[in-house]
Chains A and B, each alone.
Chain A
Amino acid sequence: MYAFEFARPRTIAEAVKALKRDEALALGGGQTLIPTLKNRLASPSVLVSLTGIAEMKGVCRTDDGMVAVGGGTPHAVVAREARKLYPALAALAGGIGDPAVRSRGTIGGSLANNDPAACYPAAVLASGATIVTNRRKIPADKFFRGMFSTALAEGEIIIEVRFPVPRKASYQKFRQPASRFALTGVFVARFDDGVRVAVTGASEGGVYRWKEAEKALTAAFRPSAVEGLKVSPKGMIGDLHGTPEYRANLVRVLTARAVAAA
């Protein structure tokens, strides 16, 4: 690691100020950023840790019936505190990585990183959640901009994520056991006015909505509704863990499983 200064502000306002410094970078749980720093793939002058900011942590229900998760909330806390409020979200958080990763890794860090195989982006996109930053509110449909790319500007931090709670939902993850990420994962959310389906781990463009399945499931919410649909392997990720064809097939299989489990 290159050397850097370490700042640990106590409030969002202090963090935002510290992040205005030249070459400043936010640190969430560090589960991605610390390995990146070790590989010398980033060289911030100052690392602004968000772990000491109490107002960015925790899960609660808002007055308008949404579930709000603080941007600095570790996965293990979401797994615990969202269990009653949004069970499918809690289950997803409880299935990320391993227990030690879940103690540290945060929802804000996961979304800002937008790893193409990460779990949270699927929940956020399928739920139609809103990402609240220190500057604005970004709808999920406008947030993800392809692999490792988001709508966030430099120095902008995720302070909260607001989830509308679906009537029924399920996340099905086909685990890549070595990395513990999703080889492919599908989040299905059924709302009163329609179904949303988000796919992670499959496309080279990162997380995306499978609109055909949404249409079919809005018409009939049962696993067989997606059986006849075709998923093209074009643009799917191919690596030693799975070919594009394999992932394309997983998308359909996992969607059907999610519908059955919801």
Chain B
Amino acid sequence: MPKVTMTVNGMAVSGEVEGRTLLSDFLRDDLGLTGTHVGCDTSQCGACVVHLDGAPVKACSVFALDAEGAKVTTIEGMANPDGSLGVIQKAFQDHHGLQCGFCTPGMVMSAAALLKENRKPTEAEIRAYLDGNICRCTGYHNIVKAVLAASGQDVSRIAAE
């Protein structure tokens, strides 16, 4: 089987994979990084979003071998070095941006990609950017609030719902 080598959350990793092995499967099954969730496996839900060379991608729709030599960041790479929650994660906790938590890894990774591009997004920009991330629990409101808060903006105007 072909070998694949990449950097995941700052660590060099490699493994033997098939041509058809998805990046999501490689992360979860080979590396044990099960924080990347697979909700639909059809590129619709966004639960599997990770960063590939800095860009958000659906890990269920990328082949592991296509990530050869790439830098990958998963939800496991979002915590602070001391293991405490990162800014975006903390904001999701503080603002109740999750219920079952299934969509959360993808939401956090998409939010991180947005905030890298746009440090102070408006509510509308956040909603537009999270378009590919589906949540069946929260109704999105608190997710948007969490992302606004993570960008250091005032969220008192947005009523809790």
A→B interface (CB under 8 Å): 1-6, 8, 27, 30-31, 34-35, 37-38, 47, 49, 51-52, 74, 76, 97-101, 103-104, 180
Contact between chains at A1 and B20 (CB < 8 Å) = yes
Contact between chains at A101 and B55 (CB < 8 Å) = no
Contact between chains at A51 and B66 (CB < 8 Å) = yes
- Which residue of B41, B43, B133 is within 8 Å of A31 (Cβ)? B43
Contact between chains at B63 and A6 (CB < 8 Å) = yes
Within 8 A of A (CB), among B83-109: none
Q: How far is the CA of A47 from the CA of B65 in the complex (A)?
A: 11
Q: How far is the CA of A250 from the CA of B41 in the complex (A)?
A: 33
- A34-B43, A103-B57 in contact; A97/B68 too (CB < 8 A)? no
Tell me the interface secondary structure of chain B in the complex. mixed
- Which residue of A38, A104, A180 is within 8 Å of B62 (Cβ)? A104
Tell me the interface secondary structure of chain A in the complex. mixed
Contact between chains at B46 and A100 (CB < 8 Å) = yes
Complex contacts, A8 vs chain B, CB 8 Å: 65-66, 68
Closest CB in chain A relative to B114 CB, distance in Å: 8
14 A-B pairs with CB atoms under 8 Å apart are A2-B20, A3-B19, A6-B19, A6-B20, A6-B66, A30-B61, A30-B62, A30-B63, A31-B61, A34-B22, A34-B62, A100-B110, A104-B58, A104-B62
Across the A-B interface, how many residue pairs have beta carbons closer than 8 Å? 78
Contact between chains at B19 and A4 (CB < 8 Å) = yes
Contact between chains at B61 and A76 (CB < 8 Å) = no
Given A30-B62, A35-B42, A35-B43, 19 extra CB contacts under 8 A: A3-B20, A6-B2, A6-B20, A6-B65, A27-B66, A30-B63, A34-B43, A35-B61, A38-B42, A47-B63, A49-B66, A52-B68, A99-B56, A99-B110, A100-B132, A103-B52, A103-B56, A104-B61, A180-B132
Contact between chains at B132 and A98 (CB < 8 Å) = yes
Contact between chains at A49 and B56 (CB < 8 Å) = no
Complex contacts, A47 vs chain B, CB 8 Å: 19, 63
Complex contacts, B114 vs chain A, CB 8 Å: 99
Closest residue of chain B to A97, judged by CB? B132
- Which residue of B49, B61, B63, B132 is within 8 Å of A49 (Cβ)? B63
- A6-B2, A31-B61, A34-B61 in contact; A101/B19 too (CB < 8 A)? no
Q: How far is the CA of A5 from the CA of B2 in the complex (A)?
A: 9
Complex contacts, B42 vs chain A, CB 8 Å: 35, 38
Q: How far is the CA of A255 from the CA of B18 in the complex (A)?
A: 48
Complex contacts, A4 vs chain B, CB 8 Å: 19-20
Q: How far is the CA of A36 from the CA of B41 in the complex (A)?
A: 12
Within 8 A of A (CB), among B52-82: 52, 55-58, 61-63, 65-66, 68
